[in-house]
């Protein structure tokens, strides 16, 4: 199996290191000082489960890698529409793109069934720009439950969690998913193939759609948002509205709001990816987290006043930070 990690940041490099440790031929695609460190020292993983170093080849030119069996896409979702030149050299007939993104994916209604089957969400796939670059037929969904951050160029700090749930949009348990899952497990990660990954998407979205924008607005960590009474009430209202949208789409989310809050509090003083992006002057990944959720609420007729308020505030922050 040949795997390319396109966007070998904190999550991508962690996955690449695990796959390399499993004996998979894996290539990391990165840039800048991070790439220089990967080439010089490999991926250094600092983890409560044990530190290790892996030395897969790293490049900034996908043409040096060529076609692979699986692309693990570690880019932010707001970079998908423009990643065509990087992705194209890695593709061949049958190449699967394992998209490790937060929020609602561009393929959400691909082979969904029911009245919304095939529907395109303008918030995450405007004018079909993402589908043109990554055909939904290539997509394997991936919901990341691991928390990592770049401690330094080439150094990944693994904070907690090793689960990467994957699944096909059509709910089949495919050979390509099974093969990728087995490789991930061999590298020490959890990678269940879920018959309906959309349930996992909503479980993860319960946290991402609430904690991520609020953390950017307040600069607070996961623990701080959970223990502050006022913020906890806002998060609770947002989560309940999110669950209402999921139910309207026929998706049963097997977790309660209190359980989701308790899990978030256990993460401790971790800064969300959105807060990290804000601090580093990067674009905020709000379209797939909040804008798409509000579009789904509009489609289903669900009232989401708290989500809309937080979206308005965080959207203004995103515009100001990009100026």
Helix intervals (H) in the chain: 10-21, 32-41, 84-87, 129-133, 175-186, 197-218, 222-227, 229-248, 257-267, 273-279, 292-300, 305-322
Count of other CB atoms within 10 angstroms of residue 308:
14
88-to-9, 93, 284 alpha-carbon distances in Å: 20, 11, 25
Structure-token pair, residue 10 = 């904190």
Identify whether the C-beta of residue 87 lies closer than 8 Å to the C-beta of residue 62. Answer: yes
Cα angle for residues 178, 75, 28 (degrees, 5° grid): 70
What count of residues does the chain have? 323
Structure-token pair, residue 126 = 């405007």
Q: How far apart are CA 118 and CA 231, in angstroms?
A: 37
Structure-token pair, residue 304 = 């989401």
Non-local CB neighbours of 262 within 8 Å, separated by 6+ positions: none
Identify whether the C-beta of residue 252 lies closer than 8 Å to the C-beta of residue 191. Answer: no
Which H or E run includes 157?
strand 155-160
Catalytic residue flag (residue 88): no
DSSP string, 9-67: SHHHHHHHHHHHHTT-EEEEE--HHHHHHHHHH-EEEE-TT--EEE---EES-GGGT--
Identify whether the C-beta of residue 253 lies closer than 8 Å to the C-beta of residue 203. Answer: yes
Q: What angle separates helix 305-322 from helix 197-218, to the nearest 10 degrees?
A: 60
Q: Which residues are catalytic?
A: 204
């Amino acid at each position: 199996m040949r795997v390319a990690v396109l966007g070998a940041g904190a999550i991508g490099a962690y996955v690449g290191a695990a796959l390399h440790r499993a004996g998979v031929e894996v290539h990391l695609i990165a840039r800048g000082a991070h790439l220089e460190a990967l080439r010089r020292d490999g991926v250094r993983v600092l983890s409560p489960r044990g530190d290790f170093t892996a030395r897969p080849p790293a490049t900034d030119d996908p043409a040096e890698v060529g076609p692979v069996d699986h692309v693990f896409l570690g880019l932010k979702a707001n970079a998908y529409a423009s990643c065509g030149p990087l992705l194209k050299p890695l593709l061949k007939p049958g190449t699967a793109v394992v998209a490790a993104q937060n929020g609602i994916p561009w393929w959400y209604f691909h082979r969904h069934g029911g009245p919304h089957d095939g529907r395109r969400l303008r918030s995450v796939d405007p004018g079909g720009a993402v589908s043109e670059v990554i055909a939904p037929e290539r997509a394997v969904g991936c919901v990341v439950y691991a928390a990592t951050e770049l401690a330094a160029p080439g150094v990944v700090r693994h904070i907690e969690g090793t689960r990467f749930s994957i699944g096909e949009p059509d709910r089949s348990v495919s050979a390509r998913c099974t093969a990728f899952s087995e490789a991930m497990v061999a590298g020490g990660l959890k990678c269940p193939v879920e018959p309906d990954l959309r349930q996992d998407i909503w479980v993860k979205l319960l946290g991402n759609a609430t904690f991520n924008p609020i953390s950017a607005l307040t600069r607070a960590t996961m623990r701080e948002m959970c223990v502050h009474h006022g913020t906890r009430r806002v998060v609770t209202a947002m989560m309940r509205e999110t669950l209402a949208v999921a139910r309207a789409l026929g998706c049963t989310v097997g977790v309660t709001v209190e359980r989701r809050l308790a899990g978030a509090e256990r993460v401790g003083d971790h800064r969300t990816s959105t807060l990290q992006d804000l601090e580093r002057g990067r674009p905020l990944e709000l379209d797939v987290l909040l804008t798409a959720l509000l579009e789904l609420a509009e489609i289903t007729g669900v009232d989401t006043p708290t989500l809309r308020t937080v979206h308005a505030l965080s959207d203004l922050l995103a515009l100001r930070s990009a100026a």
